[in-house]
Amino acid sequence: MDIASWFVDTAALAGVVGVVIAFVKKNVLKGMHDWATVIASLAVGAGLGAYGGHAGFVDGGIAAGAAFGVGAGFIASGGWDFLKGLLGKRE
């Protein structure tokens, strides 16, 4: 397994975040739903991204890696779909 491939783009890291969150929801925090899932996805993404920045997989260091990871966590949690639903259709 090449961990560097997780940090090729945001979608790749979002896939990893999604797998981690699915594992946690199934085996650890079985009652995690809605906002807790979004927050956990953002936190896991930030943590993995910070690791990627520290390990040199993400340019810009730990802070840039964490920001990259938050974006991945947002994608993994379906955050964009949630916000579109919250705001409704715009004309």
Rounded to the nearest 5°, which phi and psi values hold at 58?
-120, 125
Q: Which residues are CB-neighbours of 43 under 8 A, at least 6 positions away? A: 73
**Identity (one letter) of the amino acid at 29?**
L
**Residues in Cβ contact with 85 at an 8 Å cutoff, skipping those fewer than 6 apart:** none
87 pLDDT exceeds 90? no
Number of CB atoms found within 10 A of residue 74's CB: 20
Q: What was the pLDDT predicted at 25?
A: 86
Give this prediction's pTM: 0.81
The 10 Å Cβ neighbour count of residue 61 is: 12
- Which percentage of the chain shows pLDDT scores above 90? 48
